[in-house]
């Protein structure tokens, strides 16, 4: 197949964010659609996963691996292969890869996480969200790091977000008592009424420590941390014997300069023989298919609700990205760019 003619619209990094990220950090550019060289595929981008971690890659200076200013913004993107000179990838294939905030990207299949094909029975939004890196962080963070046993108390922050909403429900499926911490009534209502959690704490209007005492009177067995900061400290204070803290992310710290001091209550781990351990989804890449199979079944049977917050149109990418930090998103923040134009391959 020939490279299509037309315009490639894209967002490039215009200046590094200082404090908060917004539209002014990005610049809209238009240019020709590129042709793939040997070892590359041209992909048409369909959906972008807009996750808080991407902020770290544009705050960091180039010398520390940050995206160079003037380069197209990078992210985890669901695309369709249009033209391929990359072995193993054919026109029509649907892939999840590291690509640009643009209509068309060239990929060599590498990047922060290697390109993966997904079958056409998985909608691209699901392949990026609950069945993508977001869901993988939750699934393996809960099952491999947190390891909840039936009846244990599991607490999760940013519980109505992409990772948090999946982690909460996976822990619930394991038989844990699950309490979610989230910002705002709408998010807490969703946790209680849709996700079926045992308790919800609105960290905007409620005293988190006091509410944890009420909802977890015996303490916390597992705390799944997406935000760090003061909420992590409150959880550490209440950890039970052999309690586990799953470190998945620290959204409250992203973009802060200077960085606030680390957890004050980390020594509470000593008194309870507790453990704090990180989870990096990409380390589980060889096991993604096992997680996808399990979670597809749970979604089909209604045990796992995949919550998404969808913004439409490439032109809205910076504003949609910023929603992660203004806490507007309920569920996984996604941006839809286009429908697949080619016949789908499975
Ligand atoms: N380790 C891994 O492999 C891996 C993979 C993917 C993501 N992550 C990390 O997992 C975390 C969640 O990612 P996600 O994509 O699912 O994002 P998300 O939780 O859907 O979105 C961000 C949420 O963070 C909360 N938040 C924002 N600013 C905050 C602040 N200052 N203090 C407290 N909460 C704040 C808000 O929720 P509330 O309104 O509820 O506060 C916001 O909606 C991120 O830290 C991300 O970096 C890690």
* C-beta 21 within 6 A of ligand 1: no
pLDDT tens across 297-339, in order?
999 999 999 999 999 999 999 999 999 999 999 999 999 999 8
Contact status, residue 324 vs residue 251, Cβ threshold 8 Å: yes
Share of the chain above pLDDT 90, in %: 92
Mean pLDDT of 253-274: 93
The confidence band for 139, taking pLDDT boundaries of 50, 70 and 90, is: very high
State whether the beta carbon of 57 lies less than 6 angstroms from ligand 1. Answer: no
What is the pLDDT of the chain when averaged over all its residues?
96
Q: What is the dihedral of CA 123, 128, 130, 136, to 10 degrees?
A: 140
Output DSSP code: residue 238.
T
The helix or strand, by DSSP H or E, that contains position 261, with its residue range, turns out to be none
Any ligand 1 atom below 6 A from CB of 137: yes
Hey, CA dihedral for 325, 326, 327, 331, is it positive or negative? Answer: negative
- Distance, CA of 273 to CA of 264 (rounded, Å): 17
Cα gap 233→222, rounded to integer Å = 14
C-alpha 133/C-alpha 126 separation (Å) is 10
Residue 346 pLDDT more than 70? no
Under the banding of pLDDT at 50, 70 and 90, the label for residue 6 is confident
Closest Cα to atom 44, ligand 1: which residue? 249
Q: Is the pLDDT of residue 43 over 80?
A: yes
Expressed in angstroms, the distance from the first to the final Cα of the chain is: 19
Q: How many angstroms separate the CA atoms of 77 and 310, rounded?
A: 14
Mutate to test the pocket of ligand 1, among 158, 201, 225 (most ligand atoms within 8 A of CB): 158
251 lines ligand 1 (CB under 6 A): yes
| Pocket flag, ligand 1, residue 51 (CB < 6 Å) | yes
Query: What is the predicted pLDDT for the residue at 1?
Result: 61
Report the pLDDT averaged over residues 19-36.
Answer: 95
Tell me what pLDDT residue 226 has: 98
User: Does the predicted TM-score (pTM) go above 0.95?
Assistant: yes
CB 334 within 8 A of CB 101: no
pLDDT at residue 197, as a whole number: 98
> Is the pLDDT score of 189 beyond 80?
yes
Write phi, then psi, for 335 (nearest 5 degrees): -130, 130
For the beta carbon of residue 61, count every other beta carbon within 10 angstroms.
10
CB neighbour class for 47 (10 Å; exposed up to 12, middle 13-18, buried from 19): buried
pLDDT at 343: 82
Instruction: Give me the pLDDT at residue 3, please.
Output: 75
């Amino acid at each position: 197949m020939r490279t299509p003619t037309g315009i490639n619209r894209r967002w490039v990094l215009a200046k590094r964010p200082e404090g908060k990220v917004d539209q002014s950090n990005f610049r809209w550019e238009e240019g020709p659609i590129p042709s793939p060289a040997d070892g590359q595929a041209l992909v048409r981008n369909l959906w972008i996963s807009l996750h808080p971690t991407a902020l770290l890659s544009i705050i960091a200076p180039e010398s520390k691996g940050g995206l160079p200013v003037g380069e197209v913004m990078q992210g985890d993107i669901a695309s369709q292969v249009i033209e391929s000179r990359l072995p193993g990838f054919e026109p029509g294939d649907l892939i999840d890869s590291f690509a640009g905030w643009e209509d068309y990207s060239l990929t060599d299949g590498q990047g922060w996480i290697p390109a993966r094909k997904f079958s056409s029975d998985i909608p691209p939004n699901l392949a990026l969200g609950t069945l993508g890196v977001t869901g993988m962080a939750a699934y393996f963070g809960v099952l491999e790091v947190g390891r909840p046993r039936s009846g244990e108390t599991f607490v999760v922050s940013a519980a109505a977000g992409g990772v948090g909403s999946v982690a909460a429900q996976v822990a619930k499926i394991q038989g844990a008592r699950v309490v979610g911490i989230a910002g705002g009534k709408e998010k807490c209502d969703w946790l209680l009424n849709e996700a079926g959690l045992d308790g919800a704490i609105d960290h905007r209007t409620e005293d988190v420590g006091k509410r944890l005492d009420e909802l977890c009177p015996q303490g916390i067995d597992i705390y799944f941390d997406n935000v760090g900061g003061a909420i992590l400290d409150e959880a550490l204070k209440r950890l039970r014997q052999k309690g586990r803290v799953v470190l998945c992310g620290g959204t409250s710290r992203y973009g802060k300069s200077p960085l606030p001091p680390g957890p004050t209550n980390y020594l509470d781990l000593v008194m309870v023989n507790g453990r704090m351990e990180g989870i990096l989804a990409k380390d589980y890449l060889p096991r993604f298919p096992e997680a996808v199979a399990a979670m597809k079944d749970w979604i089909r049977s209604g045990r796992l609700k995949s919550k998404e917050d969808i913004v439409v149109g490439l032109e809205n990418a910076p504003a949609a990205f910023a929603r992660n930090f203004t806490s507007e998103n309920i569920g996984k923040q996604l941006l839809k760019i286009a429908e697949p134009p080619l016949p789908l391959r499975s």
